[in-house]
């Protein structure tokens, strides 16, 4: 990718919003048992790390990996589990942490699968949401930003495994994807 992505959401705006989300989550889970932050790999890792550091409540971190993209950029519609949670979530409060929700199929799949494991509660947190693309019924309890139809990279998001570590959310234009 030769061209630097156009900044859509700056580093400072992201960090401010992550702190706001952490404040609300900390308030909502105050006095409850330890929260399990369940990061959906790979995209959520930076968001999850920053969110976790900003929380003021007891928490543990688990990871899960799913795939819904066949060739890097086209959602296939089918979701498959690539890596499962290592610990039990039975009787625990779980917060699924996603980088982006577009069709909602991945989040819907995860919620259904995790419910069968009898957690005390399941809620969701997403950095980005493309509401106009959502086809599955999913609630996002904690949302960073709503965005349009742009292909975005940075802050954990990638295009063909590139630009994941940018400190901002940037737009990749179709001509830049070659």
The answer for 154, left when phi > 0, alpha when psi is -120 to 50, beta otherwise, is left
**Any domain includes 1:** no
Domain hosting residue 159, numbered range: 6-177
Assess whether 102 carries a catalytic annotation. yes
CATH code at 122?
3.40.50.2020
Give me the mean pLDDT over the 88-112 stretch.
94
**pLDDT tens digits, one per residue of 130-139:** 988 888 889 9
* Catalytic residue of the set 33, 50, 84, 102: 102
Please check the confidence at residue 112 and state whether its pLDDT lies above 70.
yes
Overall domain count for the chain: 1
Answer positive or negative: Cα dihedral of 35, 100, 142, 116.
negative
């Amino acid at each position: 990718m030769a061209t630097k992505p156009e900044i859509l959401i700056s580093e400072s705006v992201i960090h401010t919003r992550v702190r706001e989300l952490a404040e609300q989550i900390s308030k909502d889970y105050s006095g409850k048992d330890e929260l399990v932050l369940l990061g959906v790999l790979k995209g959520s890792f930076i968001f999850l790390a920053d969110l976790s550091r900003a929380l003021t409540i007891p928490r543990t971190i688990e990871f899960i990996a799913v795939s819904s993209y066949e060739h890097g950029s086209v959602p296939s519609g089918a979701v498959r589990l690539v890596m499962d949670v290592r610990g039990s979530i039975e009787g625990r409060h779980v917060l699924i942490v996603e980088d982006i929700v577009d069709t909602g199929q991945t989040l819907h799949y995860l919620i259904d699968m995790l419910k069968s494991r009898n957690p005390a509660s399941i809620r969701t947190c997403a950095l980005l949401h493309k509401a106009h693309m959502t086809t599955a019924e999913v609630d996002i309890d904690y949302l960073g930003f709503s965005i349009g139809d742009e292909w975005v990279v940075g802050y954990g998001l990638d295009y063909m495994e590139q630009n994941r570590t940018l400190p901002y959310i940037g737009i990749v234009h179709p001509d830049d994807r070659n």
